Amino acid sequence: MDVYFSTVVRGAPIEKGGELVRLDWDTKRVLGRKAIVPRDPDVDDPNPRGSSRGGRGILVRHDELLVANYHSLLRFDRRLNPLSGHTDNLFVGLHELAQVEDRVWLAATSIDAAIAIDDAGRVVDTWWPRECPELQKHLGLEPLEIDKTADNRLRFLGDSSLAGSHTHLNAVAVEDGELYALLNRYGVIWNATTGRPFAEHPALVGAHNLLFIGGRVLVNDTRGKRVLVFDPEGGLVRAIDLLGFTAVARLHRRHRPRYLLQVAAKKLLGTRVVARPLFVRGLAHLEGSRFLVGISPATILEIDIDSGELLDQFRYSRDVRVCPHGLVAIADSAHEAGTSPDGVASPVPEQSRR
């Protein structure tokens, strides 16, 4: 089983802000790495947290990898050889990706938009929650002031998460032909096709990712350090507490004192907190009832939805600034020589079962 994940390195220079990593999940060997840097145009980002750094959502389409960075959709083959990519004036703060037969949907978080492109990278559809009458009524939203014909890619840098009616649309998913979007500032999963809320819950405020698995819907409760499980009607039926796993709780205890010192420094000196331990982001279906979830410092956990057990884990970095973002699992593809173009084939830094 191949697992691909992207990372964001908080506080790092843009050129060292994250990677795309290929991992053999069965052997826990890293088979390749590629730096992910926003180019054409280059980015001068004032936000020291994540913002424009590193890789974002990942999906597999036509046996290729599509990987988002801040303003572009990059294409790679399965061995991480780069192919041509796509960008557009409305690719602003890209986060998660979703696909249907003839298009790919992208969450353009900085401008609160879901954007659909075809295989050639042409924009074929858009959805703007702040212009949706049902959402305007439901949440009291006001439209974003934006010239959609202009090049907006560098116009929204910085922290706009609390500006106006910003919804922080950071995840999209398509299920049974219907488009869903996570509006994490308001704690809402919205069905854009029917114009109705799918789920509303306080734990969805600040949440990440949106994954449909066999009639269930998984979302990362980033603040609560849990994975939420909703039923097909949008009811919360389970919350998997990651701190309930011994290995995860140990990791949290190791990094929490430094984080609290950063919080104190921010209050006293005005410095910025750039790294939160157990920042939960990245979801992927593995097999059956098993799924993968990412936490910081860059660690991938394998969990069974039905039993709620931690089955396996992989630690990529001990640096709490390194956080997973995109995550996808693909059935074994005959690993060729087992290395990517950069020649990486390294043993797992840490792996263990619960």
Confidence (pLDDT) at 205? 97
Domain identity same for 100 and 202: yes
Collapse the DSSP code of 81 into the 3-class scheme (helix H, G, I; strand E, B; otherwise coil) and give the result: coil
Do 78 and 114 lie in one domain? The reply is no
Whose tokens are 């696909």? That residue is 99
The token duo for 338 is 């087992």
Residues in the chain: 354
Say whether both 6 and 117 belong to one domain: no
DSSP 163-225: STT---EEEEEEETTEEEEEETTTTEEEETTTTEEEEE-GGGTT-EEEEEETTEEEEEETTTT
**What are the DSSP calls for 254-316, one per residue?**
HHHHHHHHHHHHHHHH-PPP---TT----EEEEETTEEEEEETTTEEEEEETTT--EEEEEE-
CA 69 – CA 78 distance, rounded (Å): 18
C-alpha 309/C-alpha 290 separation (Å) is 10
3-state secondary structure of 131: helix
HSE value, Cβ hemisphere, 13 Å, CA-based, for 304: 10
> 216 lies in a domain?
yes
The pTM for the full model equals 0.91
Is 329 contained in some domain?
no
Question: Domain total for the chain?
Answer: 3
| CATH code for the domain in which residue 17 is found | 2.40.10
Would you state the structure tokens that stand for residue 8, as one six-digit string?
A: 């964001």
Please list the residues that pair with 123 across neighbouring strands.
117
In tens, the pLDDT along 215-259 reads 999 999 999 999 999 999 999 999 999 999 999 999 999 988 887
Same domain, 167 and 121: yes
Same domain, 125 and 10: no
* 181 and 257 inside one domain: no
Q: Are residues 21 and 123 in the same domain?
A: no
Answer positive or negative: Cα dihedral of 309, 314, 320, 322. Answer: negative
d(CA 189, CA 132): 14
| C-beta neighbour count of 128 within 10 angstroms | 20
Phi, psi of 94 (to 5 degrees): -60, 140
Spell out the residues 6+ positions from residue 292 whose beta carbon is closer than 8 angstroms to its own.
3, 282, 283, 284, 285, 286, 300, 301, 302, 303, 327, 329
**Residue 239 shares a structural domain with residue 172:** yes
> Tokens standing for 353?
């079962």
Query: In this structure, are 56 and 200 located in the same domain?
Result: no
Beta bridge partners of 328: 4
pLDDT for 159 equals 56
Of 53, 87, 121, which residue sits at a domain end? 87
SS3 28: coil
Q: Which residues of the chain have pLDDT under 70?
A: 48-50, 159-162, 271-274, 332-354
Q: Residue 271: its pLDDT value, please?
A: 64
Strands ordered across the beta sheet of 103-108: 94-100, 103-108, 113-117, 123-127
Distance CA 17, CA 219 (A): 25
Of 87, 117, 145, the residue at which a domain comes to its end is 87
Of the candidates 313, 251, 307, 303, which has an alpha carbon nearest to the alpha carbon of residue 279? 251
Q: Which residue has the tokens 């309930």?
A: 244
Which residues constitute the domain of residue 257? Answer: 249-279+297-314
Place of tokens 């991992």: 23
Q: Are residues 160 and 174 in the same domain?
A: yes
Q: Report the distance separating Cα 212 and Cα 71, nearest Å.
A: 26
Q: What is the pLDDT of residues 18-36, one digit of tens each?
A: 999 999 999 999 999 999 9
Please name the amino acid found at residue 116.
A
